Amino acid sequence: MAGKEKRRNAAALDGDEQRLRRKQEETALLLRRIKGFVRWVVEEVAAGRSPSIVIHRYRNYCSAADSASPSPCSCSYDAPVGTDVLSLLHKDSQTSRLNVLLRVLLVVQQLLQQNKHCSKRDIYYMYPSIFVEVAVVDRAINDICILFKCSRHNLNVVGTTSILLMGWIRFVEGEKNVNCMKNVNAASSIPVSIEAIKDLVSVAHYILVVEKETVFQRLANDKFCERNRCIVITGRGYPDIPTRRFLRYLVEQLHLPVYCLVDSDPYGFDILATYKFGSLQLAYDANLLRVPDVRWLGVFTSDFEDFCLPACCLLPLSAEDRRKAESIIARCYLHKEAPEWRSELEAMLQKGVKFEIEALSARSISFLSDKYIPQKIKQGRHL
């Protein structure tokens, strides 16, 4: 065990150094490309020409799939589905899009030169009268990522979210020693920069992602990790980019299976789908942020009967729930990649009911940790 851990440590150290060197090289290259691009725009304007640039449009999914005859669509994780042409001198709506892009690019250039980080909200407040709203900055950041074929973290534009985790894992993040193994049942809320992580060590057998913080706390109270060799994290609802990157990083480094536990309702399913397929807004980056092998542990509509829950735990789907479920069922990725997920969602819609993970407490307060999760994992009852 000790020898195995040592070897893993040595391999990790080499990997950490390589990663740091690669990051420095990537930043230097990106800076050169940004400078070259800005110089080209200035020269074009100085020469009286109207510089125009082409931005690829990406779409990782659409809601056009029909169960009777699933028509092929052009959605892709790698290839663009179209283009937008942005011009500076033409007085149309795209003019301001390029103007915003250039302003945000100057901020990014400063960040990279000074090795600093900031959020899209920070950038918005630098020119609020020009940007009007944060969504405008958001689109410009996407445009820049697509133009320079990079991700938001390469631009140093990242939020400062903390990751909530516990279990059999330890690592060093910058100067900070994060050792969850000291007390595997204690929840740690840690602001994590993937680039600063090194010496990652884990003896976990799997990673469990839970939708809600309340469920995470339930597992912490039940000392779930003491009895189960795992790492538990939560994205507290829809996962943000740092949480998704962190999960992806863990999967790549530790090669562990990932199980996801969400409510049995269309929102829970959408959160699950965000982990597996990525979001539409960050379609150009979906392939780097998603965890394709995530397994859906529950809760399923069928769990209600399988685990003999009282009828009062079931809630009827609202009209809004139905609309959302129907639009999700039509997503092309379910047809192409996860037909069994689609069938489960159809069953939910057919039965017209939903229930929350916490409803399992109706059996007993620790039923979720004592029976439900260990049993389902052991018996392979997941999709």
Chain residues that interact with Zn ion, rule: CB under 5 A:
62, 73, 75, 332
Q: Which is nearer to Zn ion, 65 or 215 (CB)?
A: 65
Whether residue 243 contacts residue 213, with contact meaning beta carbons closer than 8 Å, is answered with no
Whether residue 10 contacts residue 200, with contact meaning beta carbons closer than 8 Å, is answered with no
Q: Which is nearer to Zn ion, 141 or 332 (CB)?
A: 332
Of 124, 125, 206, 372, the active-site residue reads: 125
Alpha carbon distance 49, 40 (integer Å): 11
Q: Which is nearer to Zn ion, 62 or 111 (CB)?
A: 62
Least distance from Zn ion to the Cβ atom of residue 62, Å: 3
Q: Which is nearer to Zn ion, 75 or 299 (CB)?
A: 75
Q: Which is nearer to Zn ion, 75 or 219 (CB)?
A: 75
Whether residue 30 contacts residue 145, with contact meaning beta carbons closer than 8 Å, is answered with no
Whether residue 259 contacts residue 295, with contact meaning beta carbons closer than 8 Å, is answered with yes
Least distance from Zn ion to the Cβ atom of residue 270, Å: 16
Structure-block tokens of residue 211: 């939708």
DSSP 88: S
DSSP 275: H
Q: Which is nearer to Zn ion, 81 or 181 (CB)?
A: 81
Under 8 Å CB-to-CB from 271, ≥6 apart: which residues? 211, 235, 237, 238, 239, 262
Whether 125 is catalytic is: yes
Least distance from Zn ion to the Cβ atom of residue 64, Å: 6
Alpha carbon distance 180, 197 (integer Å): 14
Taking the CA atoms of the chain, what radius of gyration do you get in angstroms?
23
The maximal CA–CA distance of the chain, rounded, in angstroms, is 76
Q: Are strands 52-57 and 82-87 parallel, antiparallel or unpaired?
A: antiparallel
Least distance from Zn ion to the Cβ atom of residue 76, Å: 9
Least distance from Zn ion to the Cβ atom of residue 330, Å: 10
Alpha carbon distance 273, 261 (integer Å): 12
C-alpha triplet 141, 147, 148: angle, nearest 5°: 90
DSSP-based three-state secondary structure for 207:
strand
Among 293, 304, 302, which residue's Cα sits nearest to residue 346?
A: 302
Q: Which is nearer to Zn ion, 75 or 359 (CB)?
A: 75
Alpha carbon distance 260, 275 (integer Å): 9
Least distance from Zn ion to the Cβ atom of residue 77, Å: 11
The helix-helix angle for 241-254 and 266-277 (nearest 10°) equals: 60
Whether residue 261 contacts residue 298, with contact meaning beta carbons closer than 8 Å, is answered with yes
Least distance from Zn ion to the Cβ atom of residue 60, Å: 8
Alpha carbon distance 149, 30 (integer Å): 10
Instruction: Provide the annotated active-site residues.
Output: 125
